[in-house]
């Protein structure tokens, strides 16, 4: 999940689905990685798009004031990149004042997905036991 988050965000078709992706992503972080983040870069509870934006701004502020190690900076930047993209996706799925949810197009990278494309994103990940081992020379 943590390293395929772009696919999951693209396939999210509602703000609630984006928030679910955010929760799963954050749960995928190891405790020792979280411990390497500055306290100000650890997201709090995210239950809505507004919470997501608030926490994204908080991590962005921590990034702008960062004074730790390069390894910790890489983790802060990973967190910030994910939260920023999740915030963008949530806003793409939120109607503007005067728009109805039904008329809202759901762009992904500037493109509205066809039913076929949407099905591709909704396909489950292959289970590890289904993967075939790769031999040298293949």
Residues paired with residue 111 on neighbouring β-strands, in sequence order:
108
Q: Which three-class secondary structure state does DSSP give residue 112? A: strand
Residues 104-123: tens digit of each pLDDT: 555 555 555 566 666 665 55
**What is the C-alpha separation between 118 and 127, in angstroms, rounded?**
20
What was the pLDDT predicted at 4?
A: 81
Residues 12-68: tens digit of each pLDDT: 999 999 999 999 999 999 999 999 999 999 999 999 999 999 999 999 999 999 999
**What is the C-alpha separation between 113 and 91, in angstroms, rounded?**
17
- pLDDT band with cut points at 50, 70 and 90 for residue 81: very high
Name the residue among 122, 91, 87, 92 with its Cα closest to residue 107.
92
What was the pLDDT predicted at 78?
A: 96
Contact yes or no for 115/44 (Cβ under 8 A): no
**What is the C-alpha separation between 17 and 3, in angstroms, rounded?**
18
Residues paired with residue 58 on neighbouring β-strands, in sequence order:
none
pTM of the complete model: 0.71
């Amino acid at each position: 999940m943590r390293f395929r988050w772009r696919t999951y965000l693209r396939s999210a078709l509602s703000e609630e689905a984006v928030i679910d992706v955010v929760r799963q992503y954050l749960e995928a972080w190891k405790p020792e990685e979280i411990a390497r983040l500055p306290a100000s870069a650890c997201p709090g509870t995210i239950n809505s798009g507004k919470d997501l934006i608030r926490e994204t701004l908080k991590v962005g502020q921590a990034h702008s004031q960062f004074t730790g190690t390069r390894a910790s900076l890489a983790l802060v930047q990973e967190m910030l990149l994910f939260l920023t993209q999740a915030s963008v996706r949530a806003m793409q799925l939120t109607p503007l004042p005067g728009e109805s949810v039904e008329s809202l197009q759901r762009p992904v990278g500037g493109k509205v997905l066809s039913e076929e494309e949407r099905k591709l994103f909704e396909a489950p990940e292959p289970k590890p036991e289904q993967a075939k081992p790769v031999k040298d020379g293949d």
